[in-house]
Chain A
Amino acid sequence: MIEIEGISKRYDATTVVDDVSMVIEPRTIAVIVGTSGSGKTTLLRMINRLVEPTAGVIRLDGADNRSLPGYELRRSIGYAIQGHGLFPHRTVAQNIATVPVLLGWDAARIKRRVDELMTLYQLDPQAFGPRYPHELSGGQQQRVGVARALAAEPNVLLMDEPFGALDPIIRNKAQEDLLAIQKRFGTTIILVTHDMEEAVHMGDKIAVMDAGKLVQYARPAEILAKPASAFVETLVGASEKPFRLLSLGRVRDAVETGAAEGEAIPADTSQRDALAELLWSGRPALPVTGADGKPLGRVTVDGLVKRAARPT
């Protein structure tokens, strides 16, 4: 659990983070969104004390983050920096091994962990391990940056626009990978992004920042349904709202009884993708099948449209 209490950061006369308080529950993902310069990175960096706050306290699992020397604290927290920041003079394997080496793990354990992470990120340890970062594509570099942050199995992971430079397909894949890892290891993640789509998709909760202030901190559905201010409303994108709301749900939860013609939709498709498929195929309804291929019922345009309406 991460408790942020009354945190402020001032540079001379300008306040870049202004009295922010929020609690991030263990094993959840909190996504920070906001315009450029709203203080997202600064807030994130106060958690691992790359930036020292002017006022306020941050507690990790109940312990003040100032009870350890900064460098020890940072070894226990994964950090994926904005723009990957890989060490250009070290191989991919050495980059990933950075924190384990600092922690003094033995060589065999480090190698096992590096191989495990590289395999997880579909980078063949034999082929990619000895390469230098500049010999990788931008997407591969970013995955290595995330792998490096995960290497020492941290309980807390801070990620600053980790998928910024990825094309939509790889970005999607990287998001799914991260969600899988988060489920598997129960990591608590704070993720900064500019992309509302990503925020809604990844976040258990979304924190909206504006000019250093935390203007709303709530579940995605609530942010979409009841934006706390005109600013949040604009950020969420008024015309996108119904679709974003749909993207939160799975087809499984929108199944109606009855049959339908056409190609079946798997139950774990997002409701948004299902609606797109219905509109594209020009049919009012399509059959839904479970993971085992058994028919579950059907999903209809009317049913989905109702779900896209503002919750009351």
Chain B
Amino acid sequence: MKEAGVKAWLPSLLRLALVVLLIAFVTNPGWFEPLLKPLTESNAPAIYNQGSLLTLTLLHLRTVLIATVAATIVAVALAILVTRPAGVEFLPLSRSLVNIGQTFPPVAVLALAVPAVGFGEKPTLIALFLYGLLPIFENALTGLTTLPANVVEAARGAGMTGWQRLVKVELPLSAPIILGGIRLSVVISLATATIGSTVAARTLGEVIIAGLLSNNLAFVLQGGLIVAALAVLIYDGLSTIERYTARRMGQETA
């Protein structure tokens, strides 16, 4: 009994510990200096000193958030369009478009986007947006095309219009699967956003790149760890929401 209680609480405790640690690190990195000091050579600074870690973390998150929201809106809208009777013929076309977005390396997108929109956050947003489309689109498509047929027919039989069916039945039912796509997309974007710093976007990539340039392992590690912690926490949080929506409908998720 006691052991089961501990087991159930352990993940929540770990999560909480990670949140506390992350906040402590980005707000008071100085506290952790002794830990990172051994990784530096010849008295180089152990804590990133060319900007605030907190600001960079928030900017990093903002970039990912904007790109993901845009990718979600476009991908879900596209999936809705191609699953309506009038839009079926666009299915192959939109599939290949979205696939190209995914197969095109983000670095190449950056290289191509900079001449067009200049340095800074914009090329990064474009790369993340294109890269994030596919998982959301594919999942939304799966969700919308694998709805239980008699539930959708019941909605029609009750006298719902096409729009009412979409909003009241089809989207809520595919929500867990769509959320799964968003989760994948966010995690990919969190990692990919770091390369945005090569074109002067202000992300946590700055810390990593500064570390690489000055051969400072402590910088590389702290930049990487913050990104990893963010990814783990967000992945975890979205999984929880997903499980909650799915369980409410009596679906089992893996």
Contacts and interface: CB of A to CB of B under 8 A. Distances in A.
A88 B156 CA distance: 15
B159 A148 contact: no
Nearest to A158: B157
A250 interface: no
B159 A102 contact: yes
Given A88-B250, A89-B248, A83 B150 contact: yes
B250 A85 contact: no
A81 interface: yes
Contact of B159 (A82, A89, A99): A99
A48 B172 CA distance: 26
B158 interface: yes
B154 A75 contact: no
Interface string B160-180: 110010000100110100000
A23 to B, nearest CB: 23
Interface in A228-280: none
Nearest to B173: A89
Nearest to B245: A89
A165 to B, nearest CB: 13
A134 B175 CA distance: 17
A99 B250 CA distance: 23
A309 interface: no
A72 B169 contact: no
B236 interface: no
A163 interface: no
A82 B157 CA distance: 11
A81 B159 contact: no
A74 B159 contact: yes
Interface in A65-79: 71-76, 79
Nearest to A75: B159
Given A83-B150, A87-B169, A88-B249, A102 B157 contact: no
Interface residues of B, number: 22
Given A89-B172, A133-B250, A102 B160 contact: yes
Contact of A72 (B155, B157, B159, B175): B159
B160 A71 contact: yes
Nearest to B149: A85
A148 B155 CA distance: 11
B248 A81 contact: no
A75 B151 contact: no
A132 B250 contact: yes
A177 interface: no
B153 interface: yes
A85 B151 contact: yes
A71 B159 contact: yes
B163 to A, nearest CB: 10
Nearest to B164: A102
Most buried by B among A73, A82, A88, A148: A88
A76 to B, nearest CB: 8
A50 B153 contact: yes
A274 B160 CA distance: 48
Nearest to A136: B250
Interface in A105-153: 132-135, 148
A73 to B, nearest CB: 8
A133 B249 CA distance: 8
A161 to B, nearest CB: 12
Contact of A86 (B151, B248, B251): B151
A262 B151 CA distance: 53
Contact of B250 (A71, A73, A135): A135
B164 A89 contact: no
A50 B169 CA distance: 17
Contacts of B249: 88-89, 132, 134
A87 B248 contact: no
Nearest to A134: B250
B230 to A, nearest CB: 30
Interface string A166-178: 0000000000000
A98 interface: yes
Nearest to B171: A89
A46 to B, nearest CB: 13
Interface in A46-60: 48, 50
Contacts of A74: 156-159
A87 B153 contact: no
A72 B156 CA distance: 11
A76 B158 CA distance: 9
Contact of B150 (A85, A102, A133, A134): A85
16 contacts: A48-B157, A72-B159, A74-B156, A74-B158, A79-B157, A81-B154, A83-B150, A84-B154, A85-B148, A85-B153, A86-B154, A89-B173, A99-B158, A99-B159, A132-B249, A134-B250
Given A75-B159, A98-B158, 11 more contacts: A48-B157, A74-B156, A74-B158, A81-B153, A85-B151, A86-B151, A87-B154, A87-B173, A89-B173, A89-B249, A102-B158
